[in-house]
Chains A and B, each alone.
Chain A
Amino acid sequence: MNLLGHDIFEAYMLICLVAILLLGGTLHVMYLKMIESMVLRTEESDFNLGDLMRSMHISQGSNFNIMMILSWSLLFVALAFLYLLTPSIFPEWNYFKIPRVASLDWGFAIFGVAALIPGALISIFVPKVYSYYLIHKRLKAIAAATPVLLLGSIICSMHLGIIYPTSNPFFWNLGYMMLAAAAVLMILPISIGFLEAWRQ
């Protein structure tokens, strides 16, 4: 099925991915509001939200921070590779429309680095978001799978680019699943933190 030249299935799947990320953002905002209302209930005196956020800060450790910055940067690369590498989803906007880059042996790397830039800009704020949550060691260990999943998604997308114009839906689906799983893992600490606060 095709809608304005774009595959409608893949377009829906993109909406699902964006929804997962938006859900993470929404849960984070709701979590902060919930904490604020809880503090207001227990403490009658006036307090500053900035002070509260400062007092909530928990250092997650350098390794975790680097891993999450890496994961969020790679998320953008994986998204760009999955949707913009071959002309099959967006025929007018794709890597092969930049012939000077696409004709190079290191074209994929250049394309990846270009996608990395917006990812890195956003990921600057990521460790700060995670610092409001109590993340257990076990959860941190699970979250370590995120860059691996994203790397797997990137390799699947690259394979699709290499074999183009032949297509292989299995690799696209696999790449998408890995990307979606990585996105879920990335918002998992926020979701768990929200659920814990909600239960209380």
Chain B
Amino acid sequence: MDRILKALQEGKEQKPQKFEQLKKLLYIEPFTTKEYSDKLGLGLDFKGNTTLNRTQDFVVRAYVVNSNPIEIRRAIYLRLEALLPGENAFSQVNSIPQIIQINEYQESNDGLNFTYRAFPELTSFRDLKRVGTVVLRLKATDGQYTWTSKNLTLNVTNSPPVLSDLSIEAPNPTRYNDPITYVANVTDANGDAVNVTLHILDEKGSERSNATQMVTSGQRVQFMASQYGFFNKDDAGKNFTYYYSFGDGINVSVTGIQKGPQLKKSTAIWVGRPKVTPEDQNQYWWQSYNFSLEMKNQEPEDAQVQVSLYLDTKAHPWRAIASQNVVLSGNPKAVYFLVKPFDVLDANQSFRYKFEYSEYDQNQRDHIEQDAQAPLSAKLVRYDTISALSLGNVAAILLLAFVLGLLLERRFYR
């Protein structure tokens, strides 16, 4: 026996052709007994609605009924095949066939040998690039016979992305060089990444520029005008519109045309000499202060500008004090704010003040800041000890205490 084996090994290495001939000569065709049944029950088991969303999870199983007794049964090889939308031929879902061994059947009450096989390779159509009808079928073989199941037809749908809360975040009125941001909320029920393109239209409705961003579902898409260079000085005074086109790779949608931004006509102003003049050199907190600023329009026509005054103290950081609209011409004009802006907490503190204006100045800034030359006086109370107000305060306390005493005595001790 050893000698035969050794001769065969040598023959395989030295005379492969002869070895192949010998193999063919000795090959025995697979055979089955006469009792072997070539009928196999084969079906696809799918629970739930056959119209389903791409991301919806499901379980598809093979149901196999083998009527042969275990003694003559053969192993069954199972393949799941799918015909995807837009394709002409079935493709194999499980690259490695599932094998049902001869002893892997259960016996039902009516004597049928059956088994189920799930396919973990197919639990959803998440990665489907096109939606529509998907046909599934099973192919089984025992090496001699081949069986094919009935087709299972599924209708696969996609949830298109949604763009909501479209708006433009910008100061009002909006200047061409203000921070202008187009924002919208992006949602996709399937959790797909959404490709969003912003289209900006000019006054004639023609597209003048666009920009694209890839956004994941649930995020806010933001297009900053300054980042993409949407507007320039020549656009001042023009009205623009915009819309979005967006898609998840399957569905592509377009929003309606939205208004905005309406860019304000640009004005170049000149500002200078910010100044604060206290009512008294002692700079008490209770006094009036005159805050002033010189302003003019650098262009010949009149321009309406809003000017606001802000004060910064330790107790009240950058508090808005007052605001006014001024008309600026080519001649310099002093803008005044005569106010009593401080309270007792500001006593003995230094302060800063700021004028904010609705147009850009000669330095392309919309505000000018200045430090006060001296801190406020530390004195907290504005009147003297011997004064009507001081005595009035004492008299008020005394009077109320006396009235209280009178009332309590009458109420509880009479």
Interface residues of A (CB under 8 A from B): 62, 65-67, 69-70, 73-74, 77, 96, 99-100, 102-103, 105-109, 112-113, 116, 119-120, 123-124, 127-128, 147, 151, 154-155, 158-159, 161-165
Contacts and interface: CB of A to CB of B under 8 A. Distances in A.
Contact residues of A: prevailing secondary structure: helix
A165 B408 contact: no
A127 B396 contact: no
A106 B393 contact: yes
A133 to B, nearest CB: 15
A62 B406 CA distance: 9
Contacts of A103: 285-286, 343-344
B413 A109 contact: no
B378 A165 contact: yes
A162 B384 contact: yes
A108 to B, nearest CB: 4
B401 A116 contact: yes
A120 B312 CA distance: 42
Contact of B397 (A100, A116, A124, A165): A116
5 contacts: A77-B401, A96-B380, A106-B393, A116-B400, A158-B390
B301 interface: no
B233 to A, nearest CB: 47
B410 to A, nearest CB: 8
Interface residues of B, number: 34
B392 interface: yes
The 9 tightest CB contacts between A and B, nearest first, are A112-B397, A69-B405, A108-B393, A70-B405, A109-B396, A102-B344, A159-B385, A109-B393, A103-B343
A73 B383 CA distance: 26
Contacts of A120: 401, 404, 408
A151 B413 CA distance: 25
A179 B394 CA distance: 16
A69 B404 contact: yes
Interface centre among B379, B396, B397, B406 (most CB of A within 10 A): B397
Contact of B315 (A99, A124, A127): A99
B393 A62 contact: no
Contact of B389 (A70, A96, A105, A124): A105
Contacts of A77: 397, 401
A77 to B, nearest CB: 6
A127 B401 contact: no
B31 interface: no
B203 interface: no
Contact of A151 (B394, B409, B414): B394
B383 A124 contact: no
A69 B408 contact: yes
A160 to B, nearest CB: 9
Contacts of A69: 404-405, 408-409
A69 B286 CA distance: 37
Given A112-B396, A127-B413, A155 B385 contact: yes
A162 B378 CA distance: 11
Given A103-B285, A105-B382, A108-B390, 6 more contacts: A62-B409, A67-B405, A108-B397, A109-B392, A116-B401, A164-B379
Contacts of A147: 398
B390 A70 contact: no
A124 B381 contact: no
A105 B383 contact: yes
Given A161-B381, A162-B384, A162-B385, A96 B344 contact: yes
B402 interface: yes
Nearest to A86: B380
A96 B385 CA distance: 17
A113 B400 contact: yes
B348 interface: yes
Contacts of B384: 162
B345 interface: yes
A174 to B, nearest CB: 13
Contacts of A127: 409, 412-413
Contacts of B343: 99-100, 102-103
Interface in B241-290: 285-286
A96 B345 CA distance: 7
